[in-house]
Amino acid sequence: MSKKLSQIEKIKTQSDGLRGTLIQSIELDNHTGTVRTDDETLIKFHGMYVQDNRDRRDERALKKLDKLYSFMIRLRIPGGVITATQWLATHEISEQYGTGTLKITTRQTLQLHGLLKHQLRPTIKAFNTAKLDSIAACGDVNRNVIVSSHPQVSAIHRQVYEYADKISTLLLPKTQAYYEVFIDGEKIYERSAEADPLYEERYLPRKFKIAIAIPPTNDVDVFTNDVGLITIIENNQLLGFNIAIGGGLATTHGNPNTYARLGSIIGFVDSEEKTLKAIYEILTVQRDFGNREDRKQSRLKYTVDTLTVQGFKNELEKRIGFTFDEVRSFSFSERNDRYGWERNHQKNWFYTLFVEHGAINPEQKQFLFEVAKLGISNFIFSGNQNLILGEISSTNKSKVESLLLSHNIEKEISALRKSSMACVALPTCPLALAEAQRYLPELVTKIEPLLQKYKLEKDEISIRMTGCPNGCGRPYVSELGFIGTGPNQYNFMLGGDRYGERLNKLYKEKQTESQILEELDILLGEFVSNKYHDETFGDFANRSFFNDNKF
């Protein structure tokens, strides 16, 4: 039976190397703030999304006005590290072209929201001058490669961090359309010089994500990625990586064929050459075997389950020409960022700033601007949506300290809040069913008294919320997960572990705030009365509700 390719497959193959009619959409279509329908798909491959302010939809509809279109730009920053000069440029670009907001994402990069169509080119050009780009930050290609975000605590960490850059470069699409459309503004590249043996004309069936974890830290949630590398270090030597395949989180309400899945470890590789070869060929297997008919079934996780883990591994080993070594042992014992000051092996200082859900507030933005002007640190984004000022010498530390003080940056923040994560959701995300980033801070404030009541205020229980089941804030790997089902309603998930190694499960459907707080009062009470010594809330909930071994 012949299968029908999804519409997006046609758009990709007929796009002339992801160009489509983007130049015309930008230059000629002055009657609309958006781009042509097929170009909406193509522009994603260049790191941009068409959005509209959902808070203003009703008001505009009443006035019979078109949606208030704008664009979100997501940068590609492998490993999440930029220089002070790049921060200054980003700050200025956000003021000049965007709405002024800067958002740190769950994949160690930055998003700017609210750019108008005519501002796209000047913005991309300005980023280009700062040696930053948004190529492949979205679309059916490999996305921003993430790595544990305290890379400089040993020399090995720097070595590992460099892999993020190498992998990102290896997997970049060959088309020069990004430069042509957004920088040069005319067709100047020969298609024949853009042959792309990896992506061909069809690209991948779906988005693709890679993370590198450096145990004992799993701040990247390595098992939630299509490919996860777990760094193996012994006696201060980088031995190689365990490779996990087929992680991914999104589900669709009411579609039982969709599910969250943690990556399966298939083996160990001991050299850079083997690591890069293995990753590259995992993408070619996905390219050739992934589902191109139903986009709800097209992530690598479904390809792995269709072929079986062993079947996928066999195909992969055929392509790479070597067999994987036996998996090396490792363990994770932390996932949160290390807030405040920390020193690395070279005695340089790092300062981790808590940025609630990655939304840098105006005071923090001004503080960071002042730090960047000093040119004494780099800027590192963490997979937990926080920001680290890195590589500060002992002589310069006091300069940052006085700015922290004068901008009143350091606040008392509860352990729960520091362990919280939320996706963007409303008002910009078109897929949001409920609030997340704008609401979780308020919910945490209402949960904090309950934690005090049970003397749990120092407990770093992970709490994550998303506005829909796509899972952008990785709520499926939290101890308390809230997944939007509709306005002011969330599926309440329980039983995940603290370090991202066990998925949580649905505990109660469609809960309102008062139901959530009532449930939590009971659950936290049960937890303090019945937990085993040192048992975390997630482990307790899993044992209580989802294991045969109930208390």
Query: Distance (Å, rounded) from C-alpha 40 to C-alpha 173?
Result: 18
Binding-site partner at residue 105 among ligand SF4, ligand SRM, none, CB < 5 to 8 Å by type: ligand SRM
What amino acid occupies position 153? Answer: V
Token pair belonging to 362: 């105006």
Rule CB under 6 A: which of 480-539 touch ligand SRM? none
Please give the backbone phi and psi of residue 12, each rounded to the nearest 5 degrees, phi first.
-65, -50
* DSSP classification of residue 142: B
- When asked if residue 224 is in the footprint of ligand SRM (CB under 6 A), the reply is yes
- Dump the DSSP string for 474-519: -GGGSSEEEEEEETTEEEEEE---SSSSS--EEEEEEE-HHHHHHH
Query: Distance (Å, rounded) from C-alpha 220 to C-alpha 149?
Result: 8
Tell me the site size for ligand SRM, rule CB under 6 A: 31
The DSSP H or E segment spanning 422 is strand 420-422
Stretch that binds ligand SF4, among 72-80, 120-128, 167-175, 423-431 (CB under 6 A): 423-431
Give catalytic status of residue 423 as yes or no.
yes
Rule CB under 6 A: which of 282-341 touch ligand SRM? 299
Strands 264-269 and 505-511: unpaired
Candidates 18, 172, 400, 468: give the one binding ligand SF4 (CB under 6 A): 468
Give catalytic status of residue 429 as yes or no.
yes
For ligand SRM, the closer of residues 12 and 474 by Cβ is 474
Partnered with residue 441 across adjacent β-strands are none
Shortest reach from residue 134's CB to ligand SRM, in Å: 10
Q: Measure Cα distances from 454 to 246, 396, 481, 526, 544 in Å.
A: 39, 42, 20, 10, 18
Q: Which entry of 12, 107, 206, 207 is annotated as an active-site residue? A: 207
Candidates 429, 444, 447, 516: give the one binding ligand SF4 (CB under 6 A): 429
What amino acid occupies position 268? Answer: F
Give catalytic status of residue 550 as yes or no.
no
Query: Distance (Å, rounded) from C-alpha 180 to C-alpha 194?
Result: 13
Shortest reach from residue 424's CB to ligand SF4, in Å: 5
Candidates 423, 494, 516, 523: give the one binding ligand SF4 (CB under 6 A): 423
For ligand SRM, the closer of residues 240 and 473 by Cβ is 473
Give catalytic status of residue 468 as yes or no.
yes
Strands, E assignment, 20-177: 48-52, 69-74, 81-82, 103-104, 110-115, 146-147
The DSSP H or E segment spanning 510 is strand 505-511
Query: Distance (Å, rounded) from C-alpha 220 to C-alpha 226?
Result: 12
Stretch that binds ligand SRM, among 186-194, 321-329, 425-433, 480-488 (CB under 6 A): 425-433
Q: Which entry of 19, 44, 209, 502 is annotated as an active-site residue? A: 209
Total residue length of the chain: 551
Q: At what angle do helices 362-374 and 84-96 cross, to 10 degrees?
A: 140
Q: Which entry of 19, 67, 107, 143 is annotated as an active-site residue? A: 143
**Taking Cα atoms as reference points, which of 180, 94, 166 lies closest to residue 86?**
94
- When asked if residue 49 is in the footprint of ligand SRM (CB under 6 A), the reply is yes
Give catalytic status of residue 138 as yes or no.
no
- When asked if residue 465 is in the footprint of ligand SRM (CB under 6 A), the reply is no
- When asked if residue 424 is in the footprint of ligand SF4 (CB under 6 A), the reply is yes
- When asked if residue 382 is in the footprint of ligand SRM (CB under 6 A), the reply is no
Which residue ranges make up the site for ligand SF4 (CB under 6 A)? 423-425, 429, 431-432, 436, 466-468, 470-472
Which residue ranges make up the site for ligand SRM (CB under 6 A)? 49, 51, 72, 74, 105-107, 109, 111, 143-144, 207, 209, 224, 248-250, 299, 358, 385, 423-424, 428-431, 470-474
Q: Catalytic residues, which ones?
A: 74, 143, 207, 209, 423, 429, 468, 472
